[in-house]
DNA sequence: TATTGTAAGATTGGATCCAATTTACAATAT
DNA sequence: ATATTGTAAATTGGATCCAATCTTACAATA
């Protein structure tokens, strides 16, 4: 299998846990764009010192979730239709390309992994799992699709783009509708993937991302027009 | 002008200086792939504590220049033909796309900026400036081309990809030859850019990056075959 | 009333110190 | 000789403390 095999016991550093904690709050929307993140407050909340908080914030800045200004601290990155376009366009350039490369290398096991993660997403939707869990499974599906391409660099880029894109996906007005559409598209994607039809998969993936982007951008434009 | 205007007086943090220092050593090849970076050693060298060194290393990890493993410290990322392909392919997906978007928005000032940075690169080559300076000017040219697209996210990705790509460019056997070729291609790029021919510019840029990649990959493959 | 100056508090950046983990190496057993 | 175990040194991760900078409140002046 071409997927990355994680070490059995990966020592979790406090910095990593803090980063995950803050990222979760930002992606969930609990910390909206513009929110000031106070190191001391987070540190007290989690019962740690400010050092791991600062280091976590540096990582989140690299992920584009926060903006750090010298001696002024970290602020949650603002959402905007322009940013969404930037973000989703970058995904559209990278993901379909990776999907084609992945298909060219995918083993039967890799294809089985895609199917498994598709089904997991399916089940989670029918069970009405939390947005966070659905997002995790959606990402797992995309990962399974692209991982066989064996492009760790590109995957790292796609991963950071996705975590920001996730913020936008979470503010959709009709998530259930979007999820149902995503699920249908996942099925089509898997069908083309299984047949090892690279061009078809790439095209479907492009449309999958572009459609989600259109939905989000038009929604954002409306709220921006009001403000 | 659509280019990002930097603040006149940006307070430089020690962490940022350390990051720049280490990045310079890695890109120049002074720290080869696999080299262990000892926090204490860097700290002593620069007369600072280990804190800014650690934070700098975190940023370099986000840039893909080092790999950090828990309690084992930072190691300079290894170079390989596979990694080069990964890297340059990602650039090929993103940069031509951004170039087209940039042309669609470029003002006369923006075009003048491209010309200025092209000439600066030209002059620097004729003067036999240092690899570091040439690299800086080459990046300035690419930045000038793409910046008018107004895609800060994508630009941030391209910037990190470029800094890693730079490591590969620096180990070319015949840099003078590569530079001369790059210069000719820059002239062609600028010509198409000035005419606002998006498709032509994108095509030339794709080829510009792909050719450099081919050169590097074939060279790496040879040295990998030996090892 | 608006503007400028100033001082106190809040907050971040960096240094020093301590704890936890890894690595190097010697001693022992197979 | 090789493998294994145990211990000390080296190194990183995190906490606490200090310094530099920013923000805010408020008074003095135009």
Interface contact B97-A89, CB threshold 8 A? yes
Tell me how many residue pairs between chain A and chain B have CB atoms under 8 A apart: 73
Q: Is the CB of B15 under 7 A from strand C?
A: yes
Do residues B161 and B200 make contact, with C-beta atoms less than 8 angstroms apart? no
Q: For the beta carbon of residue B106, count every other beta carbon within 10 angstroms.
A: 25
Q: What is the pLDDT of residue A175?
A: 87
Interface contact B89-A151, CB threshold 8 A? yes
Q: What is the pLDDT of residue A7?
A: 44
**Interatomic separation, CA of residue B12 and C1' of nucleotide D20, rounded (Å):** 13
Nucleotide nearest to A69 (CA to C1'): C12
For residues A197-214, give the mean pLDDT.
97
For residues A127-140, give the mean pLDDT.
95
Q: A195-204, B79-88, B130-139, B169-178 — which is least confidently predicted?
A: B169-178
Instruction: Read off the pLDDT of residues B112-126 as tens digits, 9 standing for 90 and up.
Output: 999 999 999 999 999
Residue B2 has pLDDT above 50, yes or no: no
For residues B200-207, give the mean pLDDT.
98
Instruction: Read off the pLDDT of residues A23-77 as tens digits, 9 standing for 90 and up.
Output: 999 999 999 999 999 999 999 999 999 999 999 999 999 999 999 999 999 999 9
**Mean pLDDT of chain A, nearest integer:** 94
Question: Quick one: closest CA in B to A52, which residue?
Answer: B55
pTM of the model: 0.93
């Amino acid at each position: 299998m071409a997927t990355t095999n994680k070490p059995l016991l990966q020592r979790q550093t406090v910095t990593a846990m803090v980063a995950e904690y803050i990222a979760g709050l930002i992606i969930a929307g609990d910390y909206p764009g513009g929110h000031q993140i106070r190191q001391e407050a987070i540190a007290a909340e989690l019962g740690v010192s400010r050092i791991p908080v600062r280091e976590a914030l540096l990582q989140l800045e690299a992920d584009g979730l926060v903006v750090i200004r010298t001696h002024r601290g970290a602020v949650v990155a603002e959402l905007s239709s322009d940013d969404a376009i930037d973000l989703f366009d970058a995904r559209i350039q990278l993901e379909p390309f990776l999907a084609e490369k992945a298909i060219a290398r995918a083993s039967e096991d890799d294809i089985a992994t895609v199917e498994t993660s598709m089904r997991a997403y399916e089940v989670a939707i029918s069970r009405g799992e939390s947005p966070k869990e659905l997002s995790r499974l959606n990402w797992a599906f995309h990962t399974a699709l692209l991982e066989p391409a064996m492009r760790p660099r590109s995957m790292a880029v796609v991963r950071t783009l996705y975590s920001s894109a996730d913020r936008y996906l979470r503010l959709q007005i009709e998530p259930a509708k979007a999820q149902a559409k995503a699920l249908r598209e996942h099925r089509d994607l898997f069908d083309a993937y299984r047949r090892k039809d690279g061009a078809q998969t790439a095209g479907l993936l492009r449309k999958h991302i572009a459609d989600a982007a259109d939905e989000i951008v038009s929604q954002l434009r409306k709220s921006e027009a009001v403000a």
